[in-house]
Structure 1
Amino acid sequence: MWQSAPPFSELLAACQHSAVHLEMRDHYDDPDEAPRVAAWKAGHRPDPDDRSTWWRPWLDMVAETVSRGVAIRRARIVSEPVSEYTRYLYDGTFTNVAAGEQIRWLPRRKSSDLALPGNDFWVFDGRLVRFGYFSGEGTYLGDEVTDEPAVVKLCADAFDSVWSRATPHEEYRI
């Protein structure tokens, strides 16, 4: 069944084993993130020694979830050369890793023979999918969740295919 998604924090709080996320866009236009992007463009970089300046509340939620034994993995399919926005993400990804996320990068040209859903998604515990919808300019438009077995399998298999080819963050270079 397809339905409006509950708040993301509720989905992650209910997660018991795994949460996987596939990102396939080269740019997201999130008004809440705009100040961080502007600061990055002006030369600011997160300070590895000052966790209080890192992205909150996301990283706290990740750390709490991982501390409960939930594996959080994120794969990003990116065009190369990477977009300015992807470079911004890359420069801050060490904070996600420090919070407990496992992150890998896959150049888009290496995904051509993979069957991928048309939208970014999360799969929670291999039983529920949350699709995120974005405009062509990257503006967030909303989301839906479904527990339809065929859709869950499609997304889980797509994620696993990307994950197996992707390069761990620590090894990926832009």
Structure 2
Amino acid sequence: MELISSAERNRLFETFEQDAFHLELRDDYTVPNEESPFTKWLSGEPDDLQWFEPWARDMRRVTADGRTVRRVRVVTQPHSPYIQWEHGLTDGNEEAGEDIRWLPRHLLPSDLHLPMGGSDWWLFDDRLLAVGHFDHEGRVLGSELIEDAAAVQECIRVRDLLWAMAIPHAEYKP
């Protein structure tokens, strides 16, 4: 299996045409550019969000072009500290043009089989998957690109189901 870096995956935002969708299934992420801001938050220190600005700038540009960027975050309740921190930052994602919804894990249908082995994934234009891979400590190893039609169709089905069930960020009260 060949993995691409997060930077290489982020370049897919330059080429997608209509819709990018992210299914987030983890309650904790160890993302290098977030470690310091998350640690600051844990200790009650203010955050100037400079680390977030490149992403927000890219999302403003992408969504100004009429493309959509959506996420469903499946989360355990009560929330982990990471999810509490992430929830507090989500207004910034939405101000940049993303549409984010939350789905408490206990509301997932009991018979739902999550595709891609239960890993997070981005789906671009209903044709290309970037499946996240993590090490045993939760650090991002990279993304695997998949264009297999059956895998893509299963992810579309799950995306549509979870999107309809999930709660828009403005309405989600943890």
Q: Do both share a fold (TM > 0.5)?
A: yes
SS of 2:87's equivalent in the other structure is helix
Residue 86 of structure 2 corresponds to 89
In the alignment, the residues of structure 1 paired with residue 165 and residue 51 of structure 2 have an alpha-carbon distance, to the nearest angstrom, of: 29
Which residue identity is paired with 1:30? V
Which residue identity is paired with 2:111? D
Show the 5 A alignment for 1:81-120: 81-111=78-108, 112-117=110-115, 118-120=118-120
Which residue identity is paired with 1:62? M
SS of 1:74's equivalent in the other structure is strand
In the alignment, the residues of structure 1 paired with residue 169 and residue 106 of structure 2 have an alpha-carbon distance, to the nearest angstrom, of: 18
Equivalent pair of 2:9/2:143 in contact (CA under 8 Å): no
Show the 5 A alignment for 1:24-63: 24-44=25-45, 53=50, 55-63=52-60
CA RMSD of aligned residues (A): 1.8
In the alignment, the residues of structure 1 paired with residue 136 and residue 103 of structure 2 have an alpha-carbon distance, to the nearest angstrom, of: 21
SS of 2:154's equivalent in the other structure is helix
Question: 1:42-93 deviations in whole A, cap 9, x for unaligned?
Answer: 224567xxxx746121111111111111111000000001101100100101
Equivalent pair of 2:40/2:47 in contact (CA under 8 Å): no
What percent identity do the matched residue pairs reach? 38
> How far is 1:137 from its partner?
2.4
- Structure 2, unaligned runs of 5 or more: none
Q: Which moved more, 1:134-143 or 1:160-169?
A: 134-143
Which residue identity is paired with 1:95? G
- Structure (1 or 2) with the greater helix fraction: 2
Which residue identity is paired with 2:113? A
User: How many pairs align?
Assistant: 169
SS of 2:160's equivalent in the other structure is helix
Residue 158 of structure 2 corresponds to 158
Which residue identity is paired with 1:139? R
